[in-house]
Chain A
């Protein structure tokens, strides 16, 4: 007998179904008596019983499934056979896990002789805790079910309760994402604090030398400015020089000139483009755009042109952002009231003059918000820069040279075998924190602008 959580879940689901039927039947019975009127319809009584039966038991199941392996191991360790185990570490863990696999039937026989005497204690312990778990779970389910069942009365407000529980479930669902984000921020924060014990925040934020793996003779340096500059050069300058004009022109064409049929086709296609995995853009940047740009730079006689250029990454990132900018601009231009357009046309302005002098200025706040969101996406973008921008931390305004970005460095610092307590690894978390704060601020500002602007026309 082993503890199979999935099967048990199915079991209590089955019990809940019975509970549902029983609850409904009982309330039907009550309703059948002369002169009684149910507050809630029978299904709600059924749901009430089912939920009381299912929820506590399922919750217990979840807790038990995560706690019981530790309990089992503890018991095995107190057994006689465990006294001969290797004292520490890796080997001990391997022996234990070997014994566990045999005991639970995952493998036919032990691979390590030392594990053989542990199989039986393991099986016994597993058996014992499985029974305890199942018994407790069933008891909880039955207690819950019975409690709910006895509360069924004609005037019992089952519907109100069930709806409250449903609301609670929905609330929990919406909290998952928020709490996860919160957890991520906390973990970033703790690791960053560890980093800042080793390296001062001022060095990271204002230092101009980035050499985290310089090796023994030289001390490592963690000056973030070259990375921040690289990030800005690629994400906020080059990518935006590409994305803003093209995105705007796309939006103007789609909102003002395109026939409905064209719009019907082009707009969804643009939206699909926004869903292309960034790694695909990365290939394109590294294999097609970068070499072409390098040849072009050499032709122009530009010194130190690299195959990993800021320009290649920036241009491709800009292309990736185009749908984003165009869709935000499209929304903003559409939000400008038709009356504004009519007013301009009625003065004898051409459609072109109307767009340039009335529609775009009126839509500008919304467009700005969209651009800020796009920047925040661009500076957080990783795959393209890892593949196309390179890893050398140069402070250069030459777009043909290789630069690196915050995200590319995070990837570099965390890939491969790393100790998780060196300044080098912890630096990745600090960089992540900086990136997180900057994009968060950008998003807040952008969303405020967009919201304020929407209110202005509603």
Chain B
């Protein structure tokens, strides 16, 4: 892979020589990548290429899979996140995640967003929590649609609204990085457009990593794109370069739709 034209001076996260195993099977093979602080980074590649697996190792969600094993080094602000001294609870508060299928809790909209701040003790009283919840919902572009029904169940919202609720939920704990695992794959085009718009607005406030199947989406929302294939990182660079002038034959084949 080439990194010549990368101009990430202040990486938020650095991964070096990362391997991920599920039992005996190796899902990720020697991946090194830097995630920029003010950028949206897209991971693309065909199904089963390991992009989601790699994403989930960035906030140690792979820990919940008993057979998963990660080797190599992943740093957040220069701190090794797999070091024994790292508290995984705090790590996940700093590196938030939005999942493929919207997964609001069966609680009210307010409690969905307030869940994170409550468990982390970010809001000493109700008034503070109100402020946090409102700010998160405003940032997620959902406030105007739900401000009059905050006590209704989060599961009663439409799919697109649910996904923005999940983004609001992640924002509410004030993370530094937001990982998005195919956040639009269960949504219709209009809801997808809203999420993409939201990603534009969130850029600069959080380092964002998005896994997507949709190459147009990657081209639209990201500044950096990484192409994964069969568990390896094939090419990583500026999104414009990857899509207009890929250096690797495999990237070119994938972009032009020869496989995937």
Q: CB within 8 Å of B: which residues of A?
A: 260, 337, 339-350, 353, 357-358, 361-362
Contacts and interface: CB of A to CB of B under 8 A. Distances in A.
A346 B106 contact: no
B199 interface: no
A344 B115 CA distance: 9
23 contacts: A337-B103, A339-B101, A342-B97, A342-B103, A343-B104, A343-B105, A343-B169, A344-B115, A346-B59, A346-B61, A346-B92, A346-B96, A347-B92, A347-B169, A347-B170, A348-B91, A348-B94, A349-B115, A349-B119, A350-B119, A358-B115, A361-B105, A361-B107
B96 A347 contact: yes
B173 A347 contact: yes
B143 interface: no
B89 interface: yes
CB-CB nearest 8 A-B residue pairs = A348-B93, A346-B97, A339-B103, A348-B92, A347-B116, A343-B103, A348-B89, A362-B106
A145 to B, nearest CB: 63
Nearest to A341: B64
B220 interface: no
Nearest to A457: B106
Nearest to B94: A348
A358 B105 CA distance: 7
B116 A342 contact: no
Interface in B81-105: 89-94, 96-97, 99, 101, 103-105
B13 to A, nearest CB: 16
Interface in B43-94: 59, 61, 64, 66, 89-94
A119 to B, nearest CB: 80
Nearest to B104: A343
Nearest to B92: A348
B140 to A, nearest CB: 14
B233 interface: no
A337 B170 CA distance: 19
Contacts of B147: none
B99 A343 contact: yes
B99 A357 contact: no
B105 A353 contact: no
Nearest to A339: B103
B64 A345 contact: yes
Interface in B223-252: none
Given A346-B59, A346-B97, A348-B116, A340 B103 contact: yes
Contacts of B101: 339
Contacts of A339: 99, 101, 103
B205 interface: no
Given A344-B105, A348-B90, 17 more contacts: A337-B103, A339-B103, A341-B64, A343-B103, A343-B166, A346-B61, A346-B92, A346-B97, A346-B170, A347-B116, A348-B89, A348-B91, A350-B119, A357-B115, A358-B105, A361-B105, A362-B106
